[in-house]
Amino acid sequence: MTAKLCTIGVLVFALVFFVACASEIPEPATATPTAIPPTLTAPPTSAPTQAFTLATSIEDIIGTWHSSRKNLYLRFYGNGTLHQSHSLDSLDYQPYAISEIWFEGTQMYLKEKAVSGVPSCGDTPGIYEVRLFPDGKTQIVRIEEKCSPRAGDTALQYDPVR
């Protein structure tokens, strides 16, 4: 019987020891979210757009302009005419197109007066918008135009010729 009591005593001791030790086992640490440090610069959301104003009169665009995309030159005169050419030298005396232009609000009307070596657009005017950028460039945007050849030689971005 002594052996039985001894075995029971050892079991009771082990059980008490286990319970005592188990109560002192710390709870597992719960993960608390840590703040992610902010980045120094935020990623861009979209490409910035350059602001522009719209031309409202011939005075806003008088001068000579060049489009490197088509190697095309335009010259707007104060009398409401436009000459178009593929070379700077021929703008005044041998342009391939001469047009009458006028503004109604922010829309520029362009009507053919004479052409040489390019398709005629007839008497129907094309309607465009002229965007003036702070860096001195302009962009002519097609609004309503039935003559594709004229639109292709007009609706472009231009640098001023100095």
Distance CA 60, CA 29 (A): 72
Reply yes or no on whether the pLDDT at 75 is more than 50. Answer: yes
Mean pLDDT of 74-96: 95
The predicted pLDDT at position 162 comes to 74
Distance CA 106, CA 146 (A): 19
Reply yes or no on whether the pLDDT at 14 is more than 80. Answer: no
**Confidence at 80, pLDDT banded by 50, 70, 90:** very high
Per the prediction, the chain carries an average pLDDT of 82
Is residue 74 within 8 Å of 157, Cβ to Cβ?
no
Distance CA 108, CA 60 (A): 11
The predicted pLDDT at position 143 comes to 97
Domain boundaries, the chain: 53-160
Dihedral over alpha carbons 11, 17, 21, 23 (to 10 degrees) = 80
Dihedral over alpha carbons 14, 20, 24, 28 (to 10 degrees) = 60
Reply yes or no on whether the pLDDT at 83 is more than 60. Answer: yes
> Per-residue b/e over 40-76, b at no fewer than 16 CB within 10 Å?
eeeeeeeeeeeebeebeebebbeebbbbeeeebbbbb
